[in-house]
Amino acid sequence: MTPRIAVTPGEPAGVGPELLVQLAQQQHPAELVAVADPQLLQQRATALNLPLILEPFDVSLPPSPSAPGSLKVLHQKLASPAQPGKLDTANAHYVLDCLRSATDACLSGDCNAMLTGPVQKSVINDAGIPFSGHTEFLAERCGVDKVVMMLASDKMRVALVTTHIPLSAVPTAITHTSLNRTLQILQGELQQRFGLPQPRIMVLGLNPHAGEGGHMGREEIDVIIPCLNALREQGMTLIGPLPADTAFTPRHLDQCDAVLAMYHDQGLPVLKYQSFGQGINITLGLPIIRTSVDHGTALDLAGSGRADVGSMLTALNAAISMANHSRN
């Protein structure tokens, strides 16, 4: 069976729509269903001088690989015409409607995975809507209390205990429960989706030098080490907590299958330095498959045709592979 992948282009003023148009120029072993405003996609195709044939998505037809230059579309309407690079709060609800529609198509089984283009979190907030990211939005839409953000490249996987919260809120968010749940989800997904029966997870400390024996912070002693020890007794292979400044060296990375960072900017800059534009973002712990790009809306490039499609393509291939794997 050909997998069906729902694709949300994300922020209409960003590079997402044109990356989807670029993706559509190639043949993929999947049916791509754009959850978007067709006029927006046509405009971006015209701006890039690329062919694009859009056909309405019909769930009653058997899925078939999209022909190069064509896409199925699950129609959503922009509130206001989108100008590349110009954010418009009027379209914030459109962005979320696309996400809801794609998520629901995956939950119902009409689609086998979703691939998301980048959204501009600030413009959604400026429209008065509480929103901190796809990760949190999808957890709520799917009715799960905890998910894990993991970015992956060909060289490393980096998962996070906390995601889009202020740095000042991180220490209190790292509790025995949140760390335990994160590690359980990470271990389970590495086993089921990535074929690693006994994954080795390297856990970072929170403080400089992993707390320097309690002299530079006590979270390692009070929370992280007891939690890791309890999970080791249950059979998990956990390394650490290691000082974050030297953990991302070949000696350590070669001995683990994934790194668990305590917060967003502890882990992601390293991965993005190594692979920006080729990495992907995967939400673990959802009842559906969701992959995404490793970059943002790149408003400075929108409409120029200069945005690199590499991460979007890698994220599509991961979604296809995970969809095929989950149906075997």
Ligand X SMILES: NC(=O)C1=CN([C@@H]2O[C@H](COP(=O)(O)OP(=O)(O)OC[C@H]3O[C@@H](n4cnc5c(N)ncnc54)[C@H](O)[C@@H]3O)[C@@H](O)[C@H]2O)C=CC1
- Which H/E stretch holds residue 183? helix 176-194
Task: Tokens for 153, please give them.
Answer: 């490249």
Q: Are strands 31-36 and 70-75 parallel, antiparallel or unpaired?
A: parallel
Q: Using the rule CB under 6 A, is 314 a contact of ligand LD2JLWAY?
A: no
Most distant CA atoms of the chain, gap in Å: 64
Task: Tokens for 317, please give them.
Answer: 């291939």
**Distance of alpha carbon 137 from the chain centroid:** 12
Q: Using the rule CB under 6 A, is 283 a contact of ligand X?
A: no
Of the candidate spans 171-179, 180-188, 212-220, 297-305, the one that interacts with ligand X by CB under 6 A turns out to be 297-305
CA atoms within a 13 Å half-sphere pointing along the CA-CB vector of 248: 17
Considering beta carbons, is residue 97 or 308 the nearer one to ligand X? 308
Residue 328 marked in a binding site: no
Q: Are 117 and 7 in contact (CB under 8 A)?
A: yes
Residues 119-178 that bind ligand LD2JLWAY (CB under 6 A): 133-135
CA nearest 219: which of 182, 176, 259? 176
What phi, psi does 285 have (nearest 5°)?
100, 0
Q: Using the rule CB under 6 A, is 259 a contact of ligand LD2JLWAY?
A: no
Residue 215 marked in a binding site: no
Output the residue with the shortest Cβ distance to ligand LD2JLWAY. 133
**Residues 174, 268, 282, 307: which binds ligand LD2JLWAY (CB under 6 A)?**
268
Q: Which residues of the shown chain bind ligand X in the complex (CB under 6 A)?
A: 10, 15, 118-122, 134, 277, 281, 292-293, 295-298, 300-301, 307-308
The binding site comprises: 134-135, 164, 209, 264, 272, 281, 290
Q: Which residues of the shown chain bind ligand LD2JLWAY in the complex (CB under 6 A)?
A: 133-135, 268, 281, 292
